[in-house]
Copies of this chain bind each other. A is one copy, B any other.
Amino acid sequence: MVEQVPDGSAPLVEKIFRDFAQRIETRELAPGARLPSVRQLSAQLGVSVFTVVNAYDRLVATGRVNSRRGAGFFVASHQPEQLLPSRRGDRELPDSALELFTQAVNHDLYKMAPGSGYLPTKWGEDAIAPATWAKVARRPESMRASPPQGMSALRDQLAIRCRQNGIDTKGDDIVTTYGGAHAFELICTSVLCPGDVVFVEDPGFFLLPVQIQQHGMQIVGVPRLADGPDVDRLEELAAKHRPRAFFTQTLLHNPVGGSTSATKCHRILSLAERFDFLVVEDDVYGEFAENRTARLAQMDSFHRVVYVGSFSKVLAPGIRVGFAILPASLKAAFVRKKILSVIGTSSLVELVVAETLATGQLRHHVDALRERIGKARSQAIRALEGAGIEIADKNIEGFFLWGKMPDELDVGDLVRRAHAMGILLAHGGLFSPSGGCQSYLRFSAPSSIDPRLLEFLSDSIRRARTPALRLVNNAY
């Protein structure tokens, strides 16, 4: 629907495309099912081979179908999500990863957002002094086009910060981006190839699998435990699938909360060596770590690790500054894709972030945030446990809590009812590329202590546990 040239008579290509899209959507064609061969279908429909090829190309381009050359076309195991219209006032139910995201950034739709992935806006208000913006805007270079790798003032500051975390790097190794997801995008387009098998964590950051799959890569989930990925399973899966890359969040994992142990870090890198894959280390929450922690980039020194950082969580989501450090052989292609997709990043915004690093403003802000988060986490753990929710791992850092709901409770239904009441909940299923985690919710600690939320949750759990009351839930 969205791919066609608007207006005019829908050509045959469009018809075939729509027909298959619908059959896939309704599961008449199940994930993994093989489509008829091009020649077979062209003969059957009496249309040209090119018409069929074009229709199949669109199915591939929209993520509905994978093409394995020599073998044919197969229904993709993860189907693309439909994007929810984002008009204000709408309040449709987020039942896919993209929808959850769209809802979460439409701030006015919810009274409460314990399912949001961001810290409360108020917590970021003093992150950057307004005067800093004016000061930096007075510098002529803030208005110039940025160099392809990003502003060197920022890259030099980032290198200092990385070295403080034990990561051996320098400004010239760093490439800035519009946040972490933009770095992942450039990795997908410059390092990975369509058809590559890519490992992600299960559960993990919910947009990542969708982002990788849209480029024609195949996703395999590696179970994520409290102390890092299940490395035995990683070994089995690597031997079986020979992945090109493994995306992993070492510190303060989203959604499970825990950090990967140093032992597991070592094991992951050994497996990467043995099975010849890249490790993409997503470190967007690492600044919030209080304990002495290890990072993969620190151990590997950029032989196999691509390191990704961002200021969306530690400064503010409205900033959009992130960065990547890649093995030397991959940098030029990454920069090339940066130029050819966005030309460059914002000189002014990068200079402002550099300023918050250089003056220590960022450090103070993060220290204060860390303390606030710690308090909120203790409070939220108590509150959610009091409501009857089991917190999967309490010995964690950061602001996410991974809550296991009682088995008797239909969590999908709970999310729907919450939504109708103006409460955004993040269903665990959205974080699992294999469709697991259905009885989990991800809570953002600072937004999970409102008495109305807790009452709603405890009430729902109580009803679910009392068979006679179960029907009452449905009447909500």
Query: Contacts A86-B335, A336-B83 given: A342-B178 contact, CB under 8 Å?
Result: yes
A132 CA to B348 CA, complexed, in Å: 13
Query: Contacts A128-B137, A193-B61 given: A147-B105 contact, CB under 8 Å?
Result: yes
A214 surroundings in chain B (CB, below 8 A): 337, 340
State the Cβ distance, A32 to closest chain B Cβ, in Å: 19
Query: B49, B127, B181, B341: which contacts A143 (Cβ < 8 A)?
Result: B127
A472 surroundings in chain B (CB, below 8 A): none
Contact indicator per residue, chain A 165-197, by CB within 8 Å of chain B (1) or not (0): 000000010000011011001000011011100
- Tell me whether B143 and A125 are in contact (CB under 8 A): yes
User: Is A344 close to B, CB under 8 A?
Assistant: yes
Q: A8, A131, A141, A210: which has the most chain B beta carbons within 10 Å? A: A8
User: Is A319 close to B, CB under 8 A?
Assistant: yes
A133 surroundings in chain B (CB, below 8 A): 130, 133-134, 136-137, 348
State the Cβ distance, A192 to closest chain B Cβ, in Å: 9
A344 CA to B98 CA, complexed, in Å: 13
State the Cβ distance, A138 to closest chain B Cβ, in Å: 5
Query: B121, B193, B207, B304: which contacts A6 (Cβ < 8 A)?
Result: B304
Query: B69, B181, B303, B339: which contacts A342 (Cβ < 8 A)?
Result: B181
User: Is A30 close to B, CB under 8 A?
Assistant: no
A58 CA to B172 CA, complexed, in Å: 27
User: Is A346 close to B, CB under 8 A?
Assistant: yes
A54 CA to B127 CA, complexed, in Å: 47
- Tell me whether A1 and B318 are in contact (CB under 8 A): no
Query: B118, B130, B346: which contacts A319 (Cβ < 8 A)?
Result: B346
A122 CA to B105 CA, complexed, in Å: 37
User: Is A2 close to B, CB under 8 A?
Assistant: yes
- Tell me whether A343 and B179 are in contact (CB under 8 A): yes
State the Cβ distance, A378 to closest chain B Cβ, in Å: 26
User: Is A244 close to B, CB under 8 A?
Assistant: yes
Give the number of chain A interface residues (Cβ < 8 Å).
107
User: Is A148 close to B, CB under 8 A?
Assistant: yes
Query: B140, B330, B349: which contacts A121 (Cβ < 8 A)?
Result: B140
Q: A125, A149, A303: which has the most chain B beta carbons within 10 Å? A: A125
A86 surroundings in chain B (CB, below 8 A): 147-149, 335
User: Is A40 close to B, CB under 8 A?
Assistant: no
A4 CA to B326 CA, complexed, in Å: 12
Task: Please name the residue on chain B nearest to A101 by beta carbon.
Answer: B339
Task: Please name the residue on chain B nearest to A133 by beta carbon.
Answer: B133
- Tell me whether A316 and B143 are in contact (CB under 8 A): yes
Chain A, 186-232, CB within 8 A of any chain B CB? 190-191, 193-195, 207, 210-211, 214
Contact indicator per residue, chain A 332-376, by CB within 8 Å of chain B (1) or not (0): 110111011111111111000000000000000000000000000
User: Is A435 close to B, CB under 8 A?
Assistant: no
- Tell me whether A185 and B339 are in contact (CB under 8 A): no
Instruction: Apart from A143-B318, A185-B341, A320-B342, list 15 A-B contacts with CB within 8 A.
Output: A6-B330, A86-B335, A101-B343, A102-B339, A104-B145, A105-B144, A105-B147, A105-B148, A130-B133, A130-B134, A133-B133, A141-B318, A143-B316, A320-B343, A320-B344
